[in-house]
Structure 1
Amino acid sequence: MNHSVRKAGWVALAAGVLLVGGGACGGDDGPSDDNPSSDAGTQTDAGTKLPAEEGRALAVSNGGLVVVGSTEANLATTGVDLLVRRYTASGEVDTSFGTQGSVVLDFEGPAKGPISGQREQDDRADTVAVLADGSILVAGFARGGSASDSRDFAVVKLKANGQLDTSFNKTGRSRLHFGEENAVDFVGTVHSLLPLADGRFYVGGFLTKSNGIDEDFALIRYNADGSLDTTFKSAGSPSGSWIGGAYTDAEAVQGMALQGSSVVLGGGDHFKAVRITSSGSQDLTFGTNGLAQSEDGQAHVLVARPNGGFLLAGSRQDVKVDGVSHGVLKLVAYTADGKPDVTFGPAGVRELTAPAGVLDVVDVSGLRIQADGKLLVFADVYAKPVLFRLQANGDLDTSFGTDGMVRWPETQLAVPLFIRSTTGPKLAILGDRAFVTDANIYSSGFFPDENARLLLKSTGL
C-alpha cells in the first residue's frame, strides 16, 4: 500500500459532527450504490412501492434474527441510511425492537451533492455481532465527503431492545475518518467484528486510496466504551490499528479468529491470512514471513477449525473444465501456524470441478463447520442460491440434497437466505449457526413470505 496511507493517521468523530455516506467498495463488495436501480429490491403490494432495502449480514438475537444493511426509506432527505431489523424465530418483524422492529440511522449530511443527481452521505452496515448481555454491535461504512468515493469506518452499539447505547462513545455510534480532517483521500469498509471477553472488540475490513488501486487489510481495536484502544500499536500505523501495507493485491478482512491473545485475519486475493499479536504487531513466524496465501482466487469467508487451524472459502474464476471456463468453489485449509494443511488436500486446497452442477460459483457468503466436522458453504451461483455440504476432508457429502447440494429457484433477490423453522423437516440457517434436519430438497415452505423484503448478500453463516 502507499506509505502515505499508513502515515496519514485518522480522526475519530462523535455522531454530532458526522458528514458521512455509503456505497459498496472493494473486495467482493460489488458495485457502488451511488445510482441503484429504481426498483432494486423493491416490490409492489396493492399499488404501494416499498423503499429499496438491502440486508448484508445477520446474527441470532433474543431468540430471533437481527439483520443489518441499508434502506432508502428516507432517500429524498438523508440518502441511504443504515438499517437494523429484528425478526422473531417465526419470521415476523419483532415490533418490540427499536421502532416497530427497525432501527434506521443517518450519520447526517445532505442527500444531494454538488454534482446534480449524485447522492452522497449514504450509510450502510455490513456486519453484526450480538454480545453476551444481548447488546448489538453493528459496523459498516459511512461516506466521508461530498462528491467523493471516500468512506469511513462506522460502528454502532444498540441495547438489546434496539435503543442506542449512549455509554458507547457518548452517542451510541462512532465514525473513524482516515487521513486529515475533511480530506477525502481514503476508502475504508468494515466486513468483520470480533468481540473479546473483556468488552473490547476488533473490527476488520480494508483501507485503500480513493482511486481504488490497492486494498489493504485494516484491523482496529476498540475499548468497550467505543474509544480506540491506543495500547494496540503497529509501526507505521496510527495507534489503535494495524494496517497491512506489504502486499500488492486486494486484501480485505472477511473473517477473524482468535488464537490465544492473537487474532488471525484473512480474505481477499490469493486467500491471504496474517496473524496479529495482542500488542498490534504482525507475527512474522506465521505462514511464510508472516503471510499465508494460496495462489489464485479470492477468499470471501474465514472460520476457525477445531484442530486450531482455520479455513478460507471463496471462488476461483476462469478455471478450464472440459475446455470451458467456469468459476469454481475453492477452499483453503491452513494449520494454526499458517502453513498449508496437506491433510485437507494438495497444498491445503480443494477445488470442486465435478459434478457439473457445482460449477459457476460467483460468490461465497457463508461458511460453517458443523459439530460432526462437516462443512456448510453457501454460495450465489449466478442468481441461484446453493447450499453445499462437504465432508471434513472437502469431498461433497452426496447424502445431502442432490450430489451434496440444496438449490433454490432462480430469484431476483440478492441472496434470499432467511429460512424459518417449520414443523417436520426444516432447514434453518441462523447467522452464527447453521443446521439441517431431514431437509435435502428445496421446499417453498421453508421461506417466510417472500414479499417480506429480506435481502441478504452476506449470511454470516
Structure 2
Amino acid sequence: MKKYILLLFHSISFSLFSQQGIIESNFGLGEYNYVDNYLKEVPTSIDYTNNSLYIAGYSNAITNISNEGNGSALKFPSKDAFYYYATNSNGLLARKAVSIGNNGSRANAIKYYKDKVVLAGYSIDDSNKSIALVRLSASTASIDSETEFSIDGKVVTDFTSDDVANAIDIKDDKIIIGGRAGKKAVIVKYYFNNGRIDKDFNQKGFIFLELGQKSEIKNLNILSDNKILASGYTFDGVQEDFFAARFNPDGTLDSSFGNNGIKIIDFFGKNDRPNTMKVLSDGKILLAGFCDTNTNSKIDAAVVKLTSNGSLETSFNGTGKKVINFGTQEDVINYIHTNSLEDIIILGYKTSGNYKNSVVDSYDKNGGTASTQQNTVVNQSYYDDYLVAGYFNDNTKISPIGVGFCRENKALLLWGSFNNLVFNSSCGQEDNSQSDKKIRKIISQDDGKFYVLNPQGLYKYLPTGLLDKTFANNGFFNDIPVGDFDILENKQLAVVAYGSLIEESGKIQANYRYKKFENIYQHNTTSFKFNQNNKKLYASASVDFTNDSETTKPILYRYNADGSIDYSFAQNKGYIEVPSQYSVYSPDENKLYVGANSIATVYIDNSLHKLSIYLYDLEGQPISSFGNNGLFQKDYNPDYYEVFKKIVIDVSNNVYLISEKSTDFNYRILVEKILSNGTSDLSYGNNGVFGYGTQSPNDLKFSTIAVQPDNKLLIIGKSSEIHGFILRLNLNGTLDNSFGIKNNGVVSDYLDNNSIDFFEEITAINLTSDNKILVGGSNQEGAVATGMTNNKIKKFK
C-alpha cells in the first residue's frame, strides 16, 4: 500500500501548513485504529453435555439480548453482563445477557446440571466486586418464574471489595465455586435448589486458602470420591507460581496430596500462571498456562503433569514440566484437553507484533509428538484472535471456541471444526452506516490524548491511538448519555447530559450541574463549545420562556466557570437567538458557529428569498464592521437541487457558507466566502464560489469542515467514486496543490487502491495540538465479512 497521502505540519509560520506528508504509521494498531462497536460477546468458558454446547462469558450489548420468544431487558444495558449461549446440532437453543451489578458483571465459568445451567463470575456494585451466580434454564435461558434460587435466579456473595468466582462444579445438588476473596483463594459451597450457602461445609460454607501474599483459584473439580481439586496461582511477594490443592469433602486440606495438601510449581524463578486444568481418567492432572522465561521478558506456554498424589509426573517430558515456544514474544495456553487417543490438545494464542493469533497444538501423553498432530489455526480476523475452550464431538479432533475481533474491537464468538473455524453469524452484521452508529466528534487535548464520541458513549485514546484505560471504564464512558461535549481548560469535560462535569479520570463530578437557563422547566441543551480565548463555555438550547410550547425558541447562551448562567452575555440579555431546525424548535447547529473570535448565525427565508448572516463578537454584541451593524444580507434563490449544509468562521472573521448541489444526478460541494467587512468575496473560487465534483470525482456528500489556524479549510465527506475524502482549500477558493498524494488538494484512501484500508465515509475531523489531523469514519470493506461496516480513526501528519 502507498503510504504517502498527506502532510499537515503546524508551525508558527502558516506557510508550513501546505507541506505534503504521510500517514502516522505508529498510530493505533498499525496505520489506523478502530473504535469499539459495542456489540461485545466474549466467551470465557464452556460445558459440552449431551451433544449440546453451553457457553458462558460477558456481553456489553447496547440492545436487549434475549433467547427466541423468551427475552428480558437488560437492567444495566450499558455495562458488561453475564452472557449465555446454547446450541446443538439443530442450531440455536438460547442466547441471553443477564445483568447484575450496577457497574457491570461477567461470567467466568459455566456448568450444566439437571436441565439447568449455573454461571459463576462477579458483579460490581459501585466499586464493590462480589462473587455472583446465575441459574438459568439450559434450553430457554429463562429464570423460572417461581424459582427458589434466590428468588430472581441470582446469588451474590460478598467477602471483601474484590471477590471473583473463576471456576464451578456441581454434584449431588451442591454447587462449589473457586475464586478469590480479596487476596485469599476461596472455595464456596451452595445448595443447587435455593442458592443458599451450605454451612455444613467447613462449618461456615466456605474456605479461605492463604498462600503467600496473594492467591487465586482458577480451576476446580469435584472428584469421584467427593474430594475437591483446585488449581491457580500464588504470589509470594517476588513471583507468581502454579499451585494445585486438594481438599477433603468437609473442606480440610487432604494431607495425602502434595505437601500437606498443596503443590507449588515454579519454572524459571519468574511469574507463572495456570489458566486451565484437566483431570485424566487415571487421576493424573494437567495444568497449563504460561511462564516467564527470564529471557528478554519473553512469555512461553507452559504445561505441568502431576500424579494423582500431587507430585511431578516425570514420565512427562522427563521433568513433569514442558515449556512450549510458538516463536513469538507472548505464547499462552488458555485450555487443555485430551482425546480418546490420550493426545493432549492445547488451545490459546501467540502474539505476533501487536496482534494475537489463535493456536491449537497437540502432544502425546508424555509430551512428545502426537499421533494426530494439530497445528496453529490461521488467524481468523483482522487482528487479535484467541481460543478459550474446546470440545470433542468426535474422538480425536477438537472444536475450538474463542474470540475474533472482526477487524475492530467487537469481540464475538467463533467456533467450528479444527480445519474450518467460523464466526458467530452476527459478526460484521452491525450497520455503522446508520446515523446512530457513526463517529460524531473527535477532540484532542494539548497532551495529544483525544476523545471520540459515538452515540453509545465516549472513548478516550492515548496519542498512540490506543485506548487510555485509566479513563472511566477501561477507556469508555457511558454512565450517562453523551449528546455533545467539549474539553475545558483544566482537562475536565463539559458534557451535554444532565449538564454534567466529568473529571479527566472519567468520573462524574458529584454535586455539580450546569444550571438551566432561567431555571425554566422545558430546557433542552443540544451542544457545548468551550472557547479557548475567553475561557467561556457556550451552549445552544431550546427554551420555553412562558411554559407555552408555542413560544419555545432556540438560543445560544454561555456559562461561568462555576456552572452558572452568564447573564452579562449579549448586553445583559443573557442569550442570542439562533436559527431553528426545519419544522422543529431546537437549534440548527449547521446554521450556528462559535469561532475563535466571533459567533455567526445564518437565516434563510425561502418565502422572501433572502439569506441573512449575523456576526457577533464573543460577548454576544453585533460586530459593527460586518455589513450593516453585524448583518449581511443577500438575495437567495437556490434551485430545488441545492441544499445549505454549514456555516463556519475563520480566524480573521471571514465567513464561509457550504452547500451541496445536485447536477445531472451528481452532487458537488459549493463554498461561498463573505469577507470580515460583510461583503461577498467575488475573487474567491469562480466568481465568488468554489465548486468541486462536477466531473471526476463525482457524487460528493459533505460531512463537516475544520478551519486551520492559517485560515485554510479542510472539508470531509464521502463520494461514490473516491469513498471518504478530505479537501483542503486555499484562501482564494482553490484546491491546495501542496496537499494530497497527487498534489491536487485531495486526500482519499481510494488513491491507495487498497480495499481493506478504505474510508467509506469520513464523519469527524480534529486538528491536534502537535499540528496533525485526526479523522474518523467508517469503511464497508473487510477481510472477514462482505459488506461489513466498521468505525475507524486515522492520523495524518
Interval of TM-score (by shorter of Structure 1 and Structure 2): 0.5 to 0.7
The answer to whether 1:377 aligns with 2:287 is yes
| Residue pairs, 1:286-435, within 5 angstroms | 286-295=201-210, 296-318=214-236, 325-346=238-259, 348-353=261-266, 357=267, 359-382=269-292, 383-409=299-325, 410-412=327-329, 415=332, 427-429=344-346
How far, CA to CA, are the matches of 1:460 and 1:148 in structure 2? 29
The answer to whether 1:272 aligns with 2:200 is no
Equivalent residue in structure 2 for 1:38, among 29, 39, 42: 29
How far, CA to CA, are the matches of 1:345 and 1:439 in structure 2? 21
Per-residue deviation at 1:273?
0.9
Change (3 A) 1:450 1:304: same
| Residue pairs, 1:52-201, within 5 angstroms | 79=36, 111=37, 120-132=38-50, 134-143=51-60, 150-160=79-89, 163-165=91-93, 172-178=94-100, 185-197=102-114, 199-201=115-117
Per-residue deviation at 1:449?
4.1
CA contact (8 A) 1:127 1:193 kept: yes
**Structure 1 equivalent of residue 169 of structure 2:** 257
How far, CA to CA, are the matches of 1:429 and 1:327 in structure 2? 22
**Structure 1 equivalent of residue 794 of structure 2:** none
> Quick one: which amino acid aligns to residue 96 of structure 2?
S
> Quick one: which amino acid aligns to residue 228 of structure 1?
I
How far, CA to CA, are the matches of 1:331 and 1:159 in structure 2? 34
How far, CA to CA, are the matches of 1:143 and 1:284 in structure 2? 35
SS of alignment partner, residue 314 of structure 2: coil
How far, CA to CA, are the matches of 1:312 and 1:419 in structure 2? 15
Change (3 A) 1:156 1:259: closer
> Quick one: which amino acid aligns to residue 327 of structure 1?
E
SS of alignment partner, residue 263 of structure 1: strand
**Structure 2 equivalent of residue 42 of structure 1:** none
> Quick one: which amino acid aligns to residue 81 of structure 2?
D
> Quick one: which amino acid aligns to residue 122 of structure 2?
F
| Unpaired runs of at least 5, structure 2 | 1-26, 64-75, 293-298, 349-360, 392-797
CA contact (8 A) 2:47 2:55 kept: yes
> Quick one: which amino acid aligns to residue 141 of structure 1?
Y
How far, CA to CA, are the matches of 2:221 and 2:390 in structure 1? 11
| Residue pairs, 1:236-255, within 5 angstroms | 239-245=152-158, 247-248=159-160, 250-255=162-167
SS of alignment partner, residue 287 of structure 1: helix
Per-residue deviation at 1:406?
2.0
CA contact (8 A) 1:328 1:358 kept: no
**Structure 1 equivalent of residue 142 of structure 2:** 227
Change (3 A) 1:187 1:371: same
CA contact (8 A) 1:331 1:349 kept: yes
How far, CA to CA, are the matches of 1:314 and 1:264 in structure 2? 16
**Structure 1 equivalent of residue 367 of structure 2:** 440
Per-residue deviation at 1:294?
0.6
> Quick one: which amino acid aligns to residue 29 of structure 2?
S
Q: Deviations over 1:389-448 (max 9, x none)?
A: 0111211111211411122115356536789999x99543589xx996354347999442
SS of alignment partner, residue 185 of structure 2: coil
When the two structures are superposed, what TM-score results if normalisation uses the length of structure 1?
0.60
| Unpaired runs of at least 5, structure 1 | 1-35, 40-48, 50-71, 80-110, 112-119, 166-171, 180-184, 320-324
CA contact (8 A) 1:140 1:190 kept: yes
CA contact (8 A) 1:206 1:252 kept: yes
When the two structures are superposed, what TM-score results if normalisation uses the length of structure 2?
0.36
Percent identity at matched positions? 17
CA contact (8 A) 1:419 1:428 kept: yes
Structure of higher CA gyration radius: 2
For CA contacts below 8 A with separation 6 or more, give which structure has more relative contact order. 1
CA contact (8 A) 1:421 1:446 kept: no
CA contact (8 A) 1:303 1:310 kept: yes
Change (3 A) 1:231 1:287: farther
Change (3 A) 1:417 1:157: closer
CA contact (8 A) 1:365 1:457 kept: no
CA contact (8 A) 1:215 1:251 kept: yes
